[in-house]
Amino acid sequence: MGALCDFVADVLDSEGALVEPIEPDGLEVLSPPPLRAAMQWPELTRLGFGAELPTGATAVGLDGDWLERFGALLGARGAWSARMLAPRPAPPLGDPERLVERALDLPNAIWRLVAVTPAWTRCLLLAFRYTAVSDEQREGIVWLGLNQTTGGGLSEIIPKLRAVLADEPDWLAPTPEARRAAGAGVDPASITARVSPLLDQAVRREIDPFLRAMRRRLDRDGARVHLYHDDLRAAALKKLRAAGAKGETDRRRETLRIAAIEREYAAKLDDLKRNYALAVATRFVQGLELIAPAQRFEVLIRRRKGERRIALDWHSAVRAMDAPPTDAGPCLGRTRFACDEALHLTDAAAQGPCAGCGKAFCRACNPAKCPRCGRPAETG
């Protein structure tokens, strides 16, 4: 919990508190009156961030309302910021074509490296908080990234970028020259369209262990309910058969009992469904526009008689290349498929067949519906 401890220390220091680190993994805080009123704690308090708490410390973590409380202190401060990585001597690239091979996989097209030039790139790093609520609750933060200059994805190299930013001693504001060289940013509507599938994928990946554990508990409880009611029903059926044709009253009673057991079983299953129903909410937390030096790889893509050029940025600070751009689908991985009509680059699903007529079509060329049968594209 070192990062959270550092964050809380910075927030409290900005609010005028005197903050001292204590062992193990804690802070001792002397708060001014406004901070005491906002956080509802005494003038001198201790906070703990690890599995083992300092004596008399209050545990602080990502669970509960701690993020909301510190977020209320910050208000809108820090929600958006801009930063520049200082230019540094570019390290040798070795074999440039080998770097492109590692970053770009085109199963149905070919590519050729045209040029490699020094450049400035405009990156967007976005943090979202997710909350997944079922019979239990899970919360966390996911980071997403886009290269606004090339259209590529940064999600796979965000940990490296954040580590470099954390190690930089000075916060450099982007210079006008670097901003101009990086080009104009992407409009908000385009960012939203690109971020939505990325956020969905990232949250699904984060909560997958939680979902698997929840399904195991659901299966266990469902099996227990089934076994209990199956035994009751079997006993009632046995009595029904024993009643024979002459015990009409007993037969009617056991028949009603079986119907009641079946109704109760269905009601218990409905209760389980409601108890284990999953609700996931996401909320934007922070955005950082990063202007950074890069080596820009200009790549020519050819399919049949068509061709187009794309750019891939090799980030000098982390010695890694961002993901190839995509025109449809989440910007994940390195595999892209090129369509025949406009050489749009997409993931495999965005070139797949329609669920209605079976015709494969490009979701970038036809984002709304299948061109053959008119079925909505999202179901194709």
Which is nearest to 197 in space by CA: 144, 124, 133, 157? Answer: 144
* Predicted local confidence at residue 1, as pLDDT: 53
Strand, helix or coil at 78?
A: coil
Which is nearest to 90 in space by CA: 314, 251, 264, 259? Answer: 314
* Predicted local confidence at residue 264, as pLDDT: 95
* Predicted local confidence at residue 265, as pLDDT: 94
Which is nearest to 329 in space by CA: 299, 360, 364, 361? Answer: 364
In Å, how far are 5, 141, 380 from 347, measured between CA atoms? Answer: 39, 26, 14
Q: Which residues of the chain have pLDDT under 50?
A: 379-380
Radius of gyration of the chain (CA): 29
**Where do the H-state alpha helices sit in the chain?**
2-14, 33-39, 66-74, 96-103, 158-167, 176-182, 188-243, 248-276
Q: How far is Cα 45 from Cα 20, in angstroms, rounded to an integer?
A: 11
Please give the structure tokens belonging to residue 268: 């218990």
Contact 288, 166 (CB under 8 A): no
* Predicted local confidence at residue 133, as pLDDT: 92
* Predicted local confidence at residue 119, as pLDDT: 93
* Predicted local confidence at residue 379, as pLDDT: 45
Q: How far is Cα 323 from Cα 331, in angstroms, rounded to an integer?
A: 7
* Predicted local confidence at residue 380, as pLDDT: 42
Q: Is the omega angle on the peptide bond into residue 24 within 30 degrees of 0, that is, cis?
A: yes
Q: How far is Cα 331 from Cα 333, in angstroms, rounded to an integer?
A: 7
Which is nearest to 336 in space by CA: 151, 175, 158? Answer: 151
Element (H, E) at 370: none
Please give the structure tokens belonging to residue 240: 């029904």
Query: Per-residue b/e over 110-131, b at no fewer than 16 CB within 10 Å?
Result: ebeeeebeebbbbbbbbbbbbe
Mean pLDDT, the chain, as a whole number? 89
Backbone angles phi, psi at 279, to 5 degrees: -120, 125
Task: Find how far residue 187's CA is from the centre of its chain.
Answer: 21
pLDDT tens, position by position, 103-161: 999 999 999 999 999 999 999 999 999 999 998 889 899 999 999 999 999 988 999 99
End-to-end C-alpha distance for the chain, whole angstroms: 44
Three-point CA angle 89, 94, 98, nearest 5°: 130
58-59 and 44-48: which strand pairing?
Answer: parallel
40 C-beta neighbours (distance < 10 Å), count: 7
Q: How far is Cα 323 from Cα 332, in angstroms, rounded to an integer?
A: 7
Q: How far is Cα 297 from Cα 116, in angstroms, rounded to an integer?
A: 5
Q: How far is Cα 176 from Cα 182, in angstroms, rounded to an integer?
A: 10
Q: How far is Cα 13 from Cα 17, in angstroms, rounded to an integer?
A: 5
pLDDT tens, position by position, 19-73: 999 988 889 999 999 988 888 889 999 988 888 888 888 888 877 778 778 878 8
Q: How far is Cα 78 from Cα 288, in angstroms, rounded to an integer?
A: 9
Give, as one character, the DSSP assignment of residue 295. Answer: E
Contacts of 7 (CB under 8 A, 6+ apart): 70
* Predicted local confidence at residue 174, as pLDDT: 93
Give, as one character, the DSSP assignment of residue 134. Answer: S
* Predicted local confidence at residue 245, as pLDDT: 62
